[in-house]
A and B are shown apart, each in its own frame.
Chain A
Amino acid sequence: KPIEVRIASHVSSFSPLHAQSELFAAEVEKRLPGQFEFKLFPGGQLGKEKDLMTNVQAGSLEMINVASGVMKLDKKLGVFDLPWLFSDRDHVKRAMKAGLEDAIRTRIEEVGSVKVIGVYENGFRHVINTERAIGEPFDLEGLKIRISGGKFRQGVFQQMGATPQKVSWGETFTALQAGVVDGAEAATYGFYEQKHFEVAKHLSLTGHVYTPSFLLASTDFFDSLTDEQKKVFTEVGKEITDAAYDASASLEAKYFEEMKGKLKINDVDLDAFKKATAKSYDTYVKSQGDDYLTIIRNAAK
């Protein structure tokens, strides 16, 4: 009888996270046919991100695929909150291969008592708004932008002249439509699945924050596997990484293509933004050191 493995995620089946879980399940099935029955639960069916984390830490769920929630485990992982850390997807891939991935894997397994199966992509966060194309920081001046996260991101958006707003994610569509806020920042698939593109006019590819996604297994579940199964899980988790980035890229391209009819998409002057928010790195480096940052900078080109 196959072992039932639930892979839950807080985001919908439009997300790259769902594609990653599918990739993983298919590849394991190919190598160990009939040994597992994977059941995917996207869209928060089994709980919000925080709940999934608690469940996997307690061993009440076998596997989850989540994103920024993992960063709350440890302040050092807050490095992914820093703005304009990566210039593009290739930069991310290079940094991850140059040791960043191994470093954060170890860190998460230490502090979270979970097994990290894979580190993939949740995506770059961009800005959508109803007013104008954002090309340089000055264009954000005075715009009410719905942000997620805490004081740090609030500060970053304030430095660029925007007036950051807090509205719950579920109310954001209505808030955009009604004009309670002028814009929002999120990963591309977030704008797509929430249909924000139907009410906003501009999607500016600011890429101000990059968030990885994490495929995690509970230690209880992982320890219950045979040595061969453990080996396959670990190997597959690593080997699908390139395919996972490709899937993210093609999903993003698809969503851009579909949203194009409803709004204008523009590139931005990254250097101007980097300059405007350079100060925001200081506090992190002071308290958490610059070992992660060094890897990332060395991988820049």
Chain B
Amino acid sequence: MAWIVVLLLLMLILIGTPIGFALMISAAIAMAISDIDLIMAPIQMFSGANKVVLLAIPLFIFMGELMGATSISERIISLARALVGWMRGGLAHVNVVTSMFMAEMSGSAVADAAVMSKIFVPSMEKQGYPKSFAAAVTATSATLGIIIPPSIPMVLYGVTTNTSIKDLFVAGIIPGLLLGGAFMVTSYIFARKEGHPVDERFEMKRLNKAFIGALVPLLIPVLVVGGLIGGFVTPTEAATLGVVAALLYGWPIRRDLNLKAVYELGSITVRQTSVVMMIIAGSAVLGQFLANEQIPQQIASGLGGLTESFVLRMLLINVFLLFLGMFLHASAAIIVVVPMLLPLAQEMGIDPVHFGVIVCLNLGIGQQTPPVASVLLTVCSVTGLKVENVMGYCKWFILAMFVTLMIVAFIPQTATWLGG
């Protein structure tokens, strides 16, 4: 029965059924075949979406949208230029560092990629960078959005596995910095090889000015993550604080926003949220069916039975996740598959928080690799480039991500050290 559901699901996805609906339909068919009362479908869909913690998803999306609609991105770009623009391949580094700052505000890589490719690819092309290189940097560095907190995939992982979202957020900080560093090293190698230009000379005065300009917008996410770590608020509450702060900053203080704009952003938020929530609702039904047939236990023991060696098992898990990430949307992969892998990870003695970071890194790579490369495809469609052209550069950045992944996977301290 398990195989029939999996095949059915894959077939539906292949013929272009929206993933959320593919999950619901294949579960409903499987339940009908197994003679399970179909009233369980609405019960599970309602219950799967009914979780206060999940409210953090629209809240973080809304916070990102609010900040994106203000003058914040320009301020952050000037700060990044003043910081790293003097290096060889200046704009590529500015691109990465801006992504790191923006990652603080956004929980989703796709959202980051759309904004960043509109800003960076034309200006990098003007300075003489190959356009596909510009697109590759933009696409891959958008992954930072889901590693550096806040991160929607981490919220989902926390909810699915009952792991502390606060601990997950803290655990993402060092791997996020490592990943940003890896991207800068890769950019630097290309800059030397292809002779990319410097952006502007370093000036302390300019850095000071840019820093002051970007201070308030940078402080809002710091407040959110700080309030969470400091023990004032829960993750969901932290997200509302971020929204309120961003609203105050953008509306009465800077006057970048008005009621109509806020309503529009609310509408965008609701729609983006629904995309993830349909996958959650769909997998709640499918998950119910799988649990009913006691399938997750079988899969975990099947995977674990392949080998006893820790290193091989760790590699196996990573390959499996990478493969999944190539075909599945990140939220679907977390909600549907992680519950099956977690028991194996725990048996191997991997800390659930550390495992969460490993999962997010893997899925981040998956967002760059066809066929379902949500981030790469977003960048390509915004810039009008062909995937195969961008891939030429992109593969080296993916290699950099893979190296970071291996470091984080085999050195747990990268994820657990900050949290103590």
Contacts and interface: CB of A to CB of B under 8 A. Distances in A.
Asked if A and B form a direct contact in the complex, defined as CB atoms under 8 angstroms apart, the reply is yes
B165 interface: yes
B72 to A, nearest CB: 28
Interface in A147-194: 167-168, 170-171, 173-175, 177-180
Contact of B292 (A46, A48, A50, A180): A46
B230 A178 contact: yes
Contact of A59 (B37, B43, B53, B232): B37
Given A47-B288, A51-B44, A170 B53 contact: yes
B235 A47 contact: no
A290 B180 CA distance: 68
Interface string B30-58: 00000011011001100100011100000
A86 B162 CA distance: 34
A121 B44 CA distance: 27
A49 to B, nearest CB: 10
Contacts of B52: 168
A143 to B, nearest CB: 15
A47 B231 contact: no
Nearest to B159: A170
A285 interface: no
Contact of A55 (B39, B165, B166): B39
B291 A55 contact: no
Contacts of B43: 47, 51, 54-55, 60
Given A58-B39, A168-B53, A170-B53, A46 B235 contact: no
Contact of B234 (A39, A51, A60, A167): A167
Contacts of B166: 174, 178
A100 B329 CA distance: 53
Contact of A60 (B40, B162, B228): B40
Interface in B194-248: 228-237
A46 B288 contact: yes
B416 interface: no
Contacts of B47: 47-48, 50-51
Given A47-B47, A168-B53, A180-B232, A58 B291 contact: no
B272 interface: no
B164 interface: yes
B259 to A, nearest CB: 30
Nearest to A41: B291
A228 B52 CA distance: 46
Interface in A23-58: 39, 41, 45-48, 50-51, 54-55, 58
Given A173-B164, A174-B164, A60 B37 contact: yes
A171 B235 contact: yes
A46 B237 CA distance: 29
Given A55-B39, A60-B39, A178 B44 contact: no
Nearest to A178: B231
Nearest to A52: B43
A6 B233 CA distance: 39
B228 to A, nearest CB: 8
Given A46-B288, A170-B53, A174-B164, A55 B234 contact: no
B235 to A, nearest CB: 7
Given A51-B43, A58-B37, A178-B166, 16 more contacts: A46-B288, A47-B43, A47-B44, A47-B47, A50-B47, A54-B39, A55-B40, A60-B43, A168-B52, A170-B162, A171-B53, A173-B164, A174-B165, A177-B164, A178-B231, A180-B233
